[in-house]
């Protein structure tokens, strides 16, 4: 039996082994003009495999690049574009830049930390007090989302002071009760309202 596992590995499996066999064949054609015509025929067949990509910019360019790759960069033809070089594919991938922002308390997240710092810059007044209370309640909700246990309001006050670098010191803000937060965040069970599932109606016997 001729298994694919025993065959040569395909450089671009998406084109299939028949296309690869065609590419391998034109590598053996000695006449350059005939080789050019055969390469153009293969490009047309490759394009027909993905007709919905024909309107994409540089689609033809990609096909010729793929032909060069499948030929192991050894196909001597008149390319309409500069063929890719093997060393291009040997370059290590570029490092993905990661944010270097340090989050003091991960269960609140960076956004809450920035909002607390912004609230600390507000002038004293009713608007600032309302904002601080809203933030404290949201912090309590976030804490409970991270840790489904109880949390003391004193913990929220201390974290609020920490995130604001000591500029916000509050107690007795009348935060939402833990049980109320957990109840609101708990997933609701869907009621089965299908046919025949509703409450039974008792009929009086005639």
Calculate the alpha carbon distances from 135 to 109, 113, 128, 164, 182 in Å: 12, 10, 10, 12, 17
190 found inside a domain: no
Provide the token pair at 206: 């005639």
Determine, yes or no, domain membership for 200. Answer: no
The DSSP secondary structure of 88-112, one letter per residue, reads GGGSPPPPPP---PPPSSTTTHHHH
Six token digits for residue 156:
């929220």
Same domain, 170 and 122: yes
Same domain, yes or no, for 28 and 63? Answer: yes
- Does residue 30 belong to any structural domain of this protein? yes
CB 83 within 8 Å of CB 74: no
126 and 174, same domain (yes or no) = yes
Query: Is the residue at 3 inside a domain?
Result: no
Looking at the structure, tell me whether residues 126 and 161 fall in a common domain: yes
Regarding whether 86 and 21 lie in a shared domain, the answer is yes
Distance CA 169, CA 164 (A): 9
Question: How many domains are there within the chain?
Answer: 2
Cα separations (Å) of 79 from 38, 42, 45, 69, 92? 12, 13, 17, 13, 27
In a domain, 36, yes or no: yes
* Secondary element (H or E) of residue 118: helix 109-120
Digitized pLDDT (tens) for each residue of the chain, 206 residues in all? 566 666 788 999 999 999 999 999 999 999 999 999 999 999 999 999 988 887 787 899 999 999 999 999 999 999 999 998 888 877 777 887 766 667 788 888 888 889 999 999 998 999 999 999 999 999 888 888 877 677 888 988 999 999 998 898 888 888 878 777 777 766 665 555 555 555 555 455 54
- 16 & 86 share domain: yes
pTM of the model: 0.47
Which domain does 82 fall in, by range? 9-90
For residue 88, what are its two tokens? 């291009």
Query: Within a domain: residue 99?
Result: no
């Amino acid at each position: 039996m001729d298994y694919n596992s025993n065959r040569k590995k395909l450089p671009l499996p998406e084109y299939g082994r028949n296309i690869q066999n065609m590419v391998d064949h034109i590598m053996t054609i000695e006449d350059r003009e005939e080789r050019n015509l055969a390469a153009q025929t293969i490009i047309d067949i490759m394009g027909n495999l993905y007709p919905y990509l024909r309107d994409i910019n540089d689609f033809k360019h990609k096909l010729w690049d793929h032909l060069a790759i499948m030929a192991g960069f050894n196909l001597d033809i008149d390319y309409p574009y500069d063929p890719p070089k093997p060393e291009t594919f040997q370059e290590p991938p570029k490092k993905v830049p990661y944010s270097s922002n340090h989050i003091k308390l991960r269960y609140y997240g960076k956004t809450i930390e920035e909002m607390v710092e912004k609230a600390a810059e507000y002038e004293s007044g009713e608007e600032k007090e309302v904002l601080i209370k809203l933030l404290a309640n949201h912090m309590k909700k976030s804490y409970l989302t991270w840790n489904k246990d109880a949390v003391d309001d004193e913990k929220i006050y201390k974290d609020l002071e920490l995130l604001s670098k000591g500029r916000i010191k509050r107690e007795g803000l009348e935060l939402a009760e833990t049980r109320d937060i957990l109840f609101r965040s708990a997933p609701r069970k869907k009621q089965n309202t299908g046919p025949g599932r509703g409450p039974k109606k008792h009929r009086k016997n005639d």
